[in-house]
């Protein structure tokens, strides 16, 4: 493992799927992790299972005060936060004939606004500390133009632009910024589609496992010296686009 001992991390959306796998992976690398999500019971059970290097905070990241509350709680818990992984997100497909417009604002709030707010507040603090790592979860959907993906893919594309500019603005400060864009990964994110009678995207091809995305997060965190792994795209082997 290429990481100094005693590092600390905050992972949003850590009660399930990719975020849970990231939390497990970072703890296995001797990093202390604060897991964040809304489902308290699930989060607490997971923390207890992962062990002493895991703690948890129940928080709806879509609320406007959540990023500040998280920064304060994480600082109280760790003193210094070395790694922030903005992973929490939802998927709602958006075909013009079917999209429920009530789902628009909640998707913007968690998939874009929350990541921007949290990135900015933690970046300012990390800059003061002259070091840190911010990782934002995008999607290969940011670069795919296909029916039903306009809003989700559009928000991920906006997030990629924001993340790239954040990296540029923090260049030379000691704060590394990167984005990870997974392809289809087997998680609960497709459950909303399935509940609406739509086929989940994970039903078309053999999907990746969350652990495979977590490995990329750890790789990004392991960068040292003058290296910053700024973009990692991970496609499922059957994804031919
Ligand atoms: P899951 O649905 O499995 O997990 C999503 C996580 O986000 C849960 O822990 C959920 O916890 C949390 N979450 C959702 N809304 C909020 C909120 N308002 N506040 C706090 N936490 C929240 O999804 P994935 O693991 O698949 O997705 C993780 C990230 O990866 C997302 O950003 C997604 O867009 C991205 N991604 C996923 C892909 C895939 O194929 N799975 C492909 C490409 C990108 P809780 O409900 O307890 O709050």
C-alpha torsion sign, points 51, 65, 153, 167: negative
Average pLDDT for the chain: 97
Domains of the chain: 8-234 (3.40.50.720)
Alpha helices, DSSP H, located in the chain: 17-28, 40-50, 66-78, 104-108, 114-128, 150-169, 191-195, 210-221
Q: How far apart are CA 230 and CA 221, in angstroms?
A: 11
Atom of ligand 1 nearest to the CA of 111: 32
pLDDT per residue as tens digits for the range 135-170: 999 999 999 999 999 999 999 999 999 999 999 999
pTM of the model: 0.98
Among the listed residues 78, 122, 152, 190, the single catalytic one is 152
The pLDDT score that the predictor gives to residue 3 is: 72
Is residue 38 in contact with ligand 1, taking CB distance under 6 Å? yes
3 state DSSP class of 240: coil
C-alpha torsion sign, points 220, 115, 160, 215: positive
Separation of 226 CA from ligand 1 center, angstroms? 31
Separation of 189 CA from ligand 1 center, angstroms? 6
């Amino acid at each position: 493992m290429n990481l100094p001992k005693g590092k600390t991390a905050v992972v949003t959306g850590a009660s399930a799927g990719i975020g849970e796998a990231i939390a497990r992976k970072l703890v296995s690398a001797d990093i202390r992790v604060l897991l964040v999500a809304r489902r308290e019971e699930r989060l607490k059970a997971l923390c207890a299972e992962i062990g002493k290097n895991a703690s948890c905070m129940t928080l709806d990241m879509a609320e406007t005060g959540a990023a500040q509350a998280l920064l304060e709680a994480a600082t109280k818990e760790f003193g210094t936060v070395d790694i922030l992984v903005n992973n929490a997100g939802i998927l709602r497909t958006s075909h013009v004939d079917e999209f429920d417009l009530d789902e628009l604002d909640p998707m913007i709030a968690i998939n874009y606004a929350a990541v921007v707010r949290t990135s900015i507040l933690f970046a300012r603090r990390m800059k003061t500390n002259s070091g840190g790592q911010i990782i934002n979860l995008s999607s290969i959907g940011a670069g795919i133009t296909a029916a039903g993906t306009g809003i989700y893919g559009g928000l991920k594309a906006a997030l990629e632009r924001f993340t790239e500019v954040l990296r540029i603005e923090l260049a030379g400060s000691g704060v590394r910024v990167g984005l990870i864009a997974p392809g289809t990964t087997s998680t609960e994110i497709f459950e909303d589609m399935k509940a609406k009678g739509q086929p989940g995207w994970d039903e078309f091809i053999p999907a990746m496992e969350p652990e495979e995305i977590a490995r990329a997060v750890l790789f990004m965190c392991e960068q040292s010296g003058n290296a910053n792994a700024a973009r990692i795209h991970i496609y499922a082997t059957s994804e031919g686009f």
